[in-house]
Chain A
Amino acid sequence: MALQLEDVHRVGIVDDVKADAEALGRLFEDFDMQALIMPRPRPRATAEEYLSTLPPLDVLVCDHQLRSSWTVAFTGAELAARANSRPHKLPAIVMSSHVGTREASSIHRWRADIPAVVPKQADDEEVLGAVRYALEEAAGKWSRERSRFRTPIEVLAVHPAGEAPYAEVLVSGWSLTQVAQLPLLRFEEDTGIPPDALLPGTWLRAEVNCYAPRAEDLCFAHISLAPQLSEDVRAL
């Protein structure tokens, strides 16, 4: 049975810009949901610590960039990813002004655990659709576009510098004509290999949502180095 938004009563909104939080709150209130603006985190609190302080909620909506007026060690993307991956999942989505920009790569690192990222300018339908996605994933119902499976990945170029280092890759199960970006912090977390040690021409494996419609919708999990091809396969 499809999950209904009628099941959502309390929506938590995390945004360091109060006016933005209130505007988003009105959207949910228009649909008879109670919008609760979440408090400023304790300075240098981790995402896990902050989540543990929140009241009971049905859904969490996080602005990505929280450092305009707060002193926090996490982004909205990390907060949403950790909320979605807790043992007792709190369905969470990200809203951001940076969708489609270079800063989006800082979201990319956490994308595997974020059901939907929507622009702040999104209309009501898109926001509610994202919430529905989050509820369904929390219930174990993954859409085709988000379902991940293992695939080879070819590294074409590596950009190890900057806040969100990335590699340009071709994902065998997705497209051989469109280049995707693999977040190198995720690569480092999964493999223990520093980003600057990754070389073009390397083959990786990862769980990727290969039916994603766009490169920016791709997410990577359980990244590992691919073994050498066996004699049997090389001999083909």
Chain B
Amino acid sequence: MSVPFLPRQSAPSEGDLAVTILDVGHGNSAIVRDGQRCAVVDAADDTTHAELERLGCTGLEEVIVSHVDNDHIAGMSRLLLDPRWSLGRVRVNTDASKDTRAWRHLQETLQLVADDKRITGILPVSTDTGLPIRVGRAELEVCHPRSLMALSGPRTRDARFGTVTSNTMSAVIRIHLDGAAAVLLASDIDGVGLRDILDRRSQQLRADVLVFPHHGGLPGAMNPVEFARSLTSAVEPRMVIFSMGTSGRTANPRPEIIEGVRAAAPDAHIACTQLSVHCHEAGSPPPSEGHLSKAMARGRSTNRCCAGSIVITRTENGFQYAPPLFRHGEFVLALASETGAGSLPLCRAGASPILNPAAGNSVR
């Protein structure tokens, strides 16, 4: 079965309607923009700032904090405090445990920018507050948590949900570009959170791109293969992104997760922002980076980009990706042959051939 491709189009410009999934290493950050109108979801480090600067985005109409974990907010305070950016609303997923250092610093930051009248409002993030969130022709739909769970807060054992952690109630955001479901940002949602979404049959998750939760790590107590299969089935993505970093501590994405994704979406293109240790050893020669998009990427400085930062642009014919899927696919295959790993990288095992619409051929 072949991967459907969009007709060839001219390269999208920086002024387009787009979502950028930034390579921030182990963490998450996304920029949603319609021309110069921007929203940011999470900021794990200064890559977000650098990309906003590169794009010339000076006004952040919406800033969303999916949950208060360092790998999602380590760059957030500086983003909010830096007067180079004018701010609109800040939406913060509650953290009822209220005892982490990161949370307290974020609170103090929000208080300061509110006192300085640099923001127009601070709102909680849940399925039934302040919808819809619009930034030009982009719409950000909060799919999770619903307010009932948000009010219960993390670190509780609730008869309705089970054990709720900070990850369980991390905000899941679906981004629509000009009415088309483009990207599902699944933050760090775990099995308990996913079950709560799927039980609400009215909540649609379908999107062209799934940014897989928890960087491809384990989803709490739920079987990881089943978790990945359930989520991927609900989203029906053309591309699955793992926003992860190369480090000795984590070995993401987990092979069980890839197995579940493949079971549900055999034709989906899988892309890691940085090279996984499953595919490329840190000491191996650095691969060529000619396929990368122009967007800033943390892995560039250490030659650890795989797909790097990924830009999903809405065009009149559908969605267009940078880097193009076939260029990334060719990079992965070349990487495997250069390192002589002997086995295919995780993302290519059992995958369909990658078509190059320009050349009219395909690579496996």
Contact = CB atoms under 8 A, between A and B. Distances in A.
A236 B108 contact: no
B122 interface: yes
A205 B105 contact: no
A210 B102 contact: no
B233 to A, nearest CB: 34
B115 A227 contact: yes
Contacts of A200: none
A233 B105 contact: no
A149 B82 contact: yes
Interface stretch (A24-32, A97-105, A166-174): A166-174
Contacts of B83: 149
B97 interface: no
A164 B114 CA distance: 34
A229 interface: yes
Contact of B81 (A150, A170, A230): A150
B122 A172 contact: no
B115 A172 contact: no
A70 to B, nearest CB: 42
Interface in A221-236: 226-227, 229-230, 232-234, 236
Contacts of A229: 107-108, 111
B94 interface: yes
B239 interface: no
B292 interface: no
Interface in B94-115: 94-95, 101-102, 104-112, 114-115
Chain A residues touching B, range: 20 to 34
B325 to A, nearest CB: 36
B316 interface: no
B81 A173 contact: yes
A232 B101 contact: no
A152 B109 contact: yes
A233 B114 contact: yes
Interface string A173-203: 1101000000000000000000000000001
B285 to A, nearest CB: 29
A34 interface: no
B278 interface: no
Contact of A233 (B70, B78, B95, B110): B110
Interface-central residue, A152, A154, A172, A205, by most chain B CB under 10 Å: A172
B122 A232 contact: yes
Contacts of B70: 176
Interface string B54-65: 000000000000
B108 A173 contact: no
A85 interface: no
Contacts of B82: 149, 173, 210
Given A150-B116, A152-B105, A176-B105, A210 B111 contact: no
Contact of A154 (B74, B78, B105): B105
A233 B107 CA distance: 6
Contact of B78 (A170, A210, A227, A234): A210
B288 to A, nearest CB: 29
B105 A172 contact: yes
A46 interface: no
A118 B134 CA distance: 49
B124 interface: yes
Given A152-B112, A236-B94, A236-B122, A173 B78 contact: yes
A19 B176 CA distance: 70
Contacts of B32: none
Nearest to B94: A236
B99 to A, nearest CB: 13
Interface in B122-172: 122, 124
A149 B77 CA distance: 12
Given A149-B83, A154-B105, A236-B122, A174 B78 contact: yes
B77 A172 contact: yes
Contacts of B78: 173-174, 210-211
A203 B122 CA distance: 21
A226 B113 CA distance: 12
B92 interface: yes
A172 B109 contact: yes
A230 B113 CA distance: 12
B92 A230 contact: no
Contacts of A150: 81, 112, 116
Given A210-B78, A236-B92, A236-B94, A172 B108 contact: yes
A149 B81 contact: yes
A150 B102 CA distance: 18
28 contacts: A149-B81, A149-B82, A150-B81, A150-B112, A152-B77, A154-B108, A170-B101, A172-B81, A172-B108, A173-B78, A173-B81, A173-B109, A174-B78, A176-B74, A176-B102, A205-B112, A210-B81, A226-B108, A226-B112, A227-B111, A230-B111, A230-B114, A233-B107, A233-B111, A233-B114, A233-B122, A236-B94, A236-B122
Interface of A: 149-152, 154, 170, 172-174, 176, 203, 205, 210-211, 226-227, 229-230, 232-234, 236
Given A170-B105, A203-B108, A226-B111, 17 more contacts: A149-B82, A151-B77, A151-B81, A152-B105, A152-B112, A154-B108, A170-B101, A172-B108, A173-B81, A173-B82, A176-B105, A205-B112, A210-B82, A232-B114, A232-B122, A233-B122, A234-B107
Closest 10 CB pairs of A and B: A152-B108, A172-B105, A172-B77, A173-B81, A173-B78, A233-B111, A151-B81, A172-B109, A233-B107, A149-B83
